[in-house]
Amino acid sequence: MRKFLLAIALLSATLAASAQNSKNMKWFNQPKTWKAYPDSLTMTVDPDTDYWRTTHYGFIRNSGPFYYQEIAGNFEATVKITGHYEELFHQAGLMVRIDNKNWIKTGIEYVDGVQNVSAVVTRDVSDWSVVPRNDSPKCIWLKLLRKGDYVQIQYSFDNKDFKMLRLAYFPPNVKAQIGMVAAAPGKKSFAVTFEDFKVEVVK
């Protein structure tokens, strides 16, 4: 009986913690189809969605689904991503954002049949850098560290060996949004699963 009651108490505490975490999360551009679980988020990314600002293409887009929480100060965000990319520029990853003119997104972006580890840094205008992967990895793990006036991005395909992708300026002493982002700029939707998303305060 004691074990049963203890199990019920632990389950109640877990559900309460999950509910509390869910309350901290908000949608910007909520997709039509999605489901949040205690340790994962699945969604079908709607077509004609994207994030970009001016450079080269001449347009501004802020329409991708973004599931985020707000936090001030230094933090590290981590997540595992499994995407079923099919069309040019299908993408999924992490985003840290202040507003429409100040944001960084990173993750996988699908270009010419190849998955690319990608980062876009936007301060009024966007830039883009990629590392092509010809082996089409099933999953990617990301770490995004915000500290002081910078963001550091690391990635891994085994959750052990992490490589640095980008170190970029990011405005300090401003509350930011951090969360899971995706986009499908073309005509096809795609499915993506985010697992073990965590945000931890760092000194």
> In the structure encoding, which two tokens stand for residue 87, read together?
């069309």
CATH number of the domain that residue 103 is part of: 2.60.120.200
Alpha carbons within 13 angstroms on the beta-carbon side of residue 7 total 4
Contact 111, 96 (CB under 8 A): no
Find the angle CA(147)-CA(149)-CA(153) to the nearest 5 degrees.
55
Rounded to 10 degrees, the C-alpha dihedral 58/45/96/132 comes to -70
Q: The domain containing residue 146 runs over which residues?
A: 2-201
Torsion of CA 23, 65, 82, 135, to 10 degrees: -150
Question: What does the pLDDT read at residue 22?
Answer: 64
CB 142 within 8 A of CB 108: no
Short-list 82, 145, 144, CA closest to 115: 82
Report the Cα–Cα distance between both ends of the chain, in Å, rounded: 44
Q: How many structural domains compose the chain?
A: 1
Amino acid at 54: T
Measured distance CA(80)–CA(159) in Å, rounded: 8
Output the tens digit of pLDDT for each of the chain's 203 residues. Answer: 544 444 434 443 333 333 335 679 999 999 999 999 999 999 999 999 999 999 999 999 999 999 999 999 999 999 999 999 999 999 999 999 999 999 999 999 999 999 999 999 999 999 999 999 988 899 999 999 999 999 999 999 999 999 999 999 999 999 999 999 999 999 999 999 999 999 999 99
DSSP-based three-state secondary structure for 124: coil
Indicate the pTM of the whole model.
0.89
> What are the b/e assignments for 30-40, b being 16+ CB within 10 Å?
ebeeeeeeeee
